[in-house]
Amino acid sequence: MSAFVTGNANKLREVRQILGAVGIEVDCQELDIPEVQGSTRDVAIAKCKRAAELLGRPCITEDTALCFEALNGLPGPYIKYFLTELGQDGLNKLLVGFPTTAAWALCTFAYSPGPGHEPILFEGRTDGHIVPARGPGSFGWDPCFEPNNTGKTYAEMQADEKNKISHRGRALAKLEQYLRSLPSTAQ
């Protein structure tokens, strides 16, 4: 069994819902790992390498980005800090004066079989738009991201509806396929 490294209860819930539905279990480990600056891939690789070193066993880490087309992909992997400082309304204000509110949600899972191994990345992307916040504000930027052709923000969706189209669900489908290819003792 791999350790999923997160301190975010909402992420853990979604990961367990998605992977649990296909019979893959993960336990949770909360570690304080400083995030490097760089691309989503750079952040994911560094976080997973460090987690594997600290845990001494197979682990999975996740990094989520919210990328605005008008800002050439920013805030990207720094969305957590933008949201903390600006709030939901501030994310919308960032796009005032730009010709588009197009955005994409990007999730990168990294898997390491243990210390000293290069992590393997699994990415999922969902295209959409930044909209005024709608729905419960209990999970990050979900209230202000509306996936294309849905008419709903992530926050307005039921869990199973969101998981089928979300960036996290898409990345986890790739990770799940990989984990199933491993001998059961390596997971």
CATH number reported for the structural domain that contains residue 22 in this entry = 3.90.950.10
User: Do the Cβ atoms of 46 and 39 come closer than 8 Å?
Assistant: no
How confident is the model at residue 187, as a pLDDT?
A: 52
103 within some domain: yes
132 within some domain: yes
Q: Cα(65)–Cα(140) distance, rounded to whole angstroms?
A: 11
187 within some domain: no
160 within some domain: yes
User: Do the Cβ atoms of 88 and 21 come closer than 8 Å?
Assistant: no
Q: Cα(6)–Cα(28) distance, rounded to whole angstroms?
A: 7
151: left (phi over 0), alpha (psi -120 to 50) or beta: left
Beta strands in the chain (DSSP E): 3-5, 27-29, 59-68, 75-76, 102-112, 120-130, 145-147
Q: What is the mean pLDDT of the chain?
A: 91
Q: What residue numbers bound the domain in which 56 lies?
A: 3-181
85 within some domain: yes
Per-residue pLDDT for 1 more than 70?
Answer: no
30 within some domain: yes
138 within some domain: yes
pLDDT 10s digits, 37-50: 888 999 999 999 99
pLDDT 10s digits, 46-81: 999 999 999 999 999 999 999 999 999 999 999 999
Q: What angle do CA 104, 162, 122 make, to 5 degrees?
A: 55
- Mention every residue, 6+ apart, whose C-beta is less than 8 A from residue 28: 3, 4, 5, 6, 12
How many domains would you assign to the chain? 1
186 within some domain: no
- Looking at 56-183, list the stretches that DSSP marks H as alpha helix, in order from N- to C-terminal side: 79-93, 159-165, 167-181
